[in-house]
Amino acid sequence: MLTPSRMHARRANHTRPTLLVMATLTASSVFFVTGCSKASAPVTAPAQPVRVVVVGHDSSANTDVATGLVGSHEEFRLGFKTGGLISRMLVEAGDSVKAGQTLATLDTTELDAQVRQISESLSKAKRDAVRAETLFKQGVLAEQVAQDARTQVAMMESNLSAARFNRQQAVIVAPANGVVLQRLAEAREVTAPGTPVLVVSRADQGWVLRVGLNDQAATRVNVGDSALVRINAYPGQTLNSRVKEVGAATDPRTGTITVTLALPNMTGIKYIAGQVGEALLLSSKNASQQLTVPLGAVLEGQDKKAKVYIVDAQNKAQLKFIEAGAIQDDRVVVTAGLQAGQRVVSEGAAWLNPGMTVRVLR
């Protein structure tokens, strides 16, 4: 039988576990609420890494790069005045020649025959003229017949002079001291009148690099402008050069204007016609320098409008609208929208949004 004292003790034993469970749940709830409040705290996004360039007046906007071929400043494409069978080719490509040296000859059998034939015709015409003049004085022939005979003599004399001249042109001689650049024909071949059989350079005029520029670039180049030249055969050397000539018309085959650069004589460099070279032309018109930015900094554009990102003093990305001008190699001329000294994002602009914090990479 349970006494009142035992019943009170039993209720006490039942109450303790209940209080213990409630305390445990309360503590768990506090921990859970605290953990949730910490997880929901805002997280700061890391700064976006970018590279920047400082906007400035860039003289590279007035430079042009072009590729061309090395050649002699003055070249002669030599051929025979009359066609015929080539008798001898006396030089090879690369040979040095002196002014007046015989380089090639035609077979003159046919030309010699023409000279003899016209010479005989001239002799006959002279005899006929003498007889006509005698008969005219005797009153047998009219004066017109005598005049025609004298005219025939004059015509035969002109024909003989032309035949002898053609005979002389059956020999090609060097017009100046130089080097044979090309041999375009061989002995026993038949050549047409005026067809080049030899290309000879003039040694005293030096070597040049001829490059082609579009019409816009050619307007920036003047005779005397400086240029830096690299010949592919000598990749480690840069040659100082100057513009010697600027073409006055476009080449109908390429649509470009030929610019001729004088090449310096340097020890260890041997120029050969046909070598490939690259020229960086430095225009003297640098008074019109403009702001430029790298081509990769421009996000998008339409007509002359474009967008770039700049980085402000707080390292925040700010979107800028600019007016773009000409494209020079890998740079864009900026005509409006930027000021010298501003930092423009050159790499990483595609990942930015206005106001985003950035980290400038060195």
pLDDT value at position 258?
A: 95
Residue 27 has pLDDT above 60, yes or no: no
Which has the minimum average pLDDT: 23-32, 47-56, 147-156, 296-305? Answer: 23-32
Q: How confident is the model at residue 62 (pLDDT cuts 50, 70, 90)?
A: low
Amino acid symbol at 205: Q
DSSP letters for 70-114: EEESSEEEEE-SS-EEEEEE---TT-EE-TT-EEEEE--HHHHHH
Is the pLDDT reported for residue 214 higher than 50? yes
- Average pLDDT for residues 110-119, to the nearest whole number? 96
Higher-pLDDT residue of 114, 43: 114
**Gyration radius of the chain's alpha carbons:** 46
**pLDDT for residue 335:** 83
Q: What distances in angstroms separate CA 12 from CA 5, 17, 18, 19, one per listed residue?
A: 11, 9, 10, 11
pLDDT at residue 23 in the model: 38
Ranked by mean pLDDT, the top range of 63-67, 79-83, 214-218, 280-284 is: 79-83
CA distances from 357 to 52, 171, 207, 352 (A): 14, 82, 57, 9
In this prediction, residue 4 carries a pLDDT of 46
Q: Is the pLDDT of residue 130 over 50?
A: yes
Q: pLDDT band for position 116 (50/70/90)?
A: very high
Q: What is the pLDDT of residue 155?
A: 97
Does residue 88 have a pLDDT over 70?
A: yes
Q: Are 211 and 279 in contact (CB under 8 A)?
A: yes
Residue 238 has pLDDT above 70, yes or no: yes
Domains, the chain, with CATH or none: 50-61+288-360 (2.40.420.20), 64-73+214-282 (2.40.30.170), 75-103+173-205 (2.40.50.100), 109-169 (1.10.287.470)
Per-residue DSSP letter, 339: -
Distance, CA of 344 to chain centre: 30
Distance of CA 264 to the CA centre of its chain: 20
> Which tens digits make up the pLDDT trace of 310-336?
999 888 999 989 988 777 667 788 888
Q: Mean pLDDT across the chain, nearest whole number?
A: 84
Q: What is the pLDDT of residues 253-264, one digit of tens each?
A: 889 999 999 999
> Which of the four pLDDT bands, split at 50, 70 and 90, describes residue 2?
very low
Neighbours of 231 (CB within 10 A): 20
- Mean pLDDT for the stretch of residues 327-353: 84
For 183, 191, 206, the CA distances from 102, given in Å and listed in that order, are: 14, 18, 23
Tokens of 246: 């600027």
Q: In the chain, what percentage of residues exceed pLDDT 90?
A: 51
Of these ranges, 48-57, 107-116, 196-205, 275-284, the one predicted with the greatest mean pLDDT is: 107-116
